[in-house]
C-alpha cells in the first residue's frame, strides 16, 4: 500500500464535511461536491452508485499521477466479502474512456460488503478503508417521470386554488415488484424565488398542493430516495403551474339575479293584467 498519511487525512476531512448518512457505504455515493472539491493527489475513487439496487458502477480518478491518466493505466479490483476465503477480483466490465467499471446482475448482491481498490503500474495498490460499501447503501434513485398537474378546486373568493400533482416512478426502479421501496419529496416555489417549500415525504405517486395564489406561476420538482435511507437522487425536470386571475364573483352574481328576478316580475305583472281584463 502506498497511500500517504496526508492524503488519508484530506480524504477523511472531505467525507466528514459532506451531508451523508453515517450508514456504512453511504459516503461512497458519487456526489458533485466530491467531484469539484480538492481531490486527493493519489489515484482515488470518485464514487460508486446503484440506480436500481440490481447493478452498480464505480468511477475513479488518477489524481495528480499524470502517468496513470491514459485509459487502462489503472485497473480496478473488488473484494466481495462472502466468506473469509474471498479473494480480490478484477472489474467485470470496463469503460476505459470514462474510467468506469460496471457490475451487472451476476456480480451484484445486496447485503454483502464490497471493497474496491486501484492498481497501477508494477501492481502498486491504492486503497482506503473508506472504499467499502454495501449495494443497498449506495442506491441513488433516478428522478420520477411524466410530472403533471390537475386542478382540484378554487376558493369561493377566486383568489386561491388547490392542485393534484401526479407522476410516474423512475423507470429504473422496480417498485411494482417491491424490489425497491422508494419515497418521494415534492418541492414547489413561486417562479424565480430563492427558497423551496417541501411537502411531507410519501410513497404514493400523487400529492396535493394547497393554497396556490391565482395569477402567480409556480415551479414544481420531485426527487426520490430509498425508504429508510437519507440520500436523495437528482431532481426531476420542473413543471410550471399557473392559473389566471378569476373575476370577482360578488359583482357578477347579483347582477344576474337582478336581471332574472326583473324578467320574472315583469312576466307576472303582464299575466296579472291579462287575468284582470278577462275577469272584467
* Average pLDDT of adjacent 10-residue blocks, the chain of 280 residues: 41 36 49 50 92 93 88 92 91 93 94 94 85 91 94 91 95 79 94 94 94 95 90 93 72 64 81 73
Sequence-separated (6 or more) residues with CB below 8 Å from residue 193: none
pLDDT, residue 41, reads 85
How many CB atoms within 10 Å of residue 126?
24
Half-sphere exposure in the Cβ direction for 66 (13 Å, CA): 0
Q: Where are the domains of the chain?
A: 5-138, 145-242
Q: Which fold has domain 5-138?
A: Immunoglobulin-like (2.60.40)
pLDDT, residue 177, reads 72
Please write the tens of the pLDDT for every residue from 78-101. 999 988 889 999 999 999 889 999
pLDDT, residue 119, reads 94
What's the N-to-C CA distance of the chain in angstroms?
123
- For domain 145-242, the CATH class is mainly beta
Burial of 77 (0-12, 13-18, 19+ CB in 10 A): middle
Residue 166 to residues 146, 153, 176, 205, 241: CA-CA distances in angstroms? Answer: 8, 16, 17, 6, 13
Rg value, the chain, Cα = 31
- The length of the chain, given as a count of residues: 280
User: Are 95 and 102 within 8 A, CB to CB?
Assistant: yes
User: Are 151 and 140 within 8 A, CB to CB?
Assistant: no
Whole-angstrom distance, CA of residue 72 vs CA of residue 43: 13
Whether the model clears a pTM of 0.85, i.e. scores above it, the answer is: no
Please write the tens of the pLDDT for every residue from 137-156. 999 899 999 999 999 999 98
Which of these, 138, 223, 224, lies nearest to 181 by C-alpha position? 224
pLDDT, residue 174, reads 82
pLDDT, residue 99, reads 93
Amino acid at each position: 500500500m502506498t497511500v500517504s498519511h496526508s492524503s488519508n487525512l484530506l480524504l477523511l476531512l472531505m467525507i466528514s464535511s459532506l451531508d451523508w448518512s453515517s450508514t456504512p457505504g453511504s459516503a461512497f455515493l458519487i456526489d458533485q461536491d466530491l467531484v469539484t472539491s480538492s481531490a486527493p493527489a493519489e489515484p482515488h475513487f470518485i464514487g460508486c452508485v446503484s440506480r436500481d439496487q440490481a447493478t452498480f458502477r464505480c468511477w475513479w480518478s488518477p489524481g495528480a499521477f499524470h502517468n496513470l491518466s491514459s485509459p487502462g493505466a489503472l485497473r480496478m479490483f473488488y473484494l466481495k466479502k462472502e466468506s473469509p476465503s474471498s479473494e480480490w477480483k478484477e472489474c467485470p466490465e470496463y469503460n476505459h474512456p470514462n474510467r468506469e467499471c460496471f457490475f451487472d446482475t451476476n456480480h451484484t448482491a445486496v447485503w454483502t460488503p464490497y471493497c474496491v481498490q486501484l492498481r497501477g503500474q508494477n501492481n502498486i495498490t491504492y486503497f482506503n478503508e473508506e472504499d467499502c460499501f454495501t449495494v443497498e447503501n449506495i442506491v441513488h434513485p433516478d428522478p420520477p417521470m411524466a410530472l403533471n398537474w390537475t386542478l382540484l378546486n378554487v376558493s369561493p373568493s377566486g383568489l386561491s386554488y388547490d392542485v393534484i400533482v401526479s407522476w410516474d416512478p423512475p423507470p429504473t426502479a422496480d417498485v411494482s415488484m417491491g424490489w425497491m421501496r422508494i419515497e418521494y419529496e415534492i418541492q414547489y416555489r413561486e417562479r424565480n424565488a430563492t427558497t423551496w417549500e417541501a411537502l411531507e415525504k410519501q410513497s404514493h405517486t400523487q400529492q396535493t398542493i394547497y393554497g396556490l395564489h391565482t395569477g402567480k406561476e409556480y415551479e414544481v420538482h420531485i426527487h426520490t430516495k430509498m425508504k429508510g435511507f437519507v440520500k436523495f437522487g437528482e431532481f426531476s425536470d420542473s413543471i410550471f403551474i399557473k392559473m389566471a386571475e378569476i373575476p370577482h364573483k360578488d359583482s357578477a352574481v347579483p347582477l344576474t339575479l337582478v336581471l332574472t328576478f326583473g324578467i320574472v316580475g315583469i312576466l307576472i305583472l303582464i299575466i296579472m293584467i291579462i287575468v284582470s281584463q278577462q275577469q272584467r
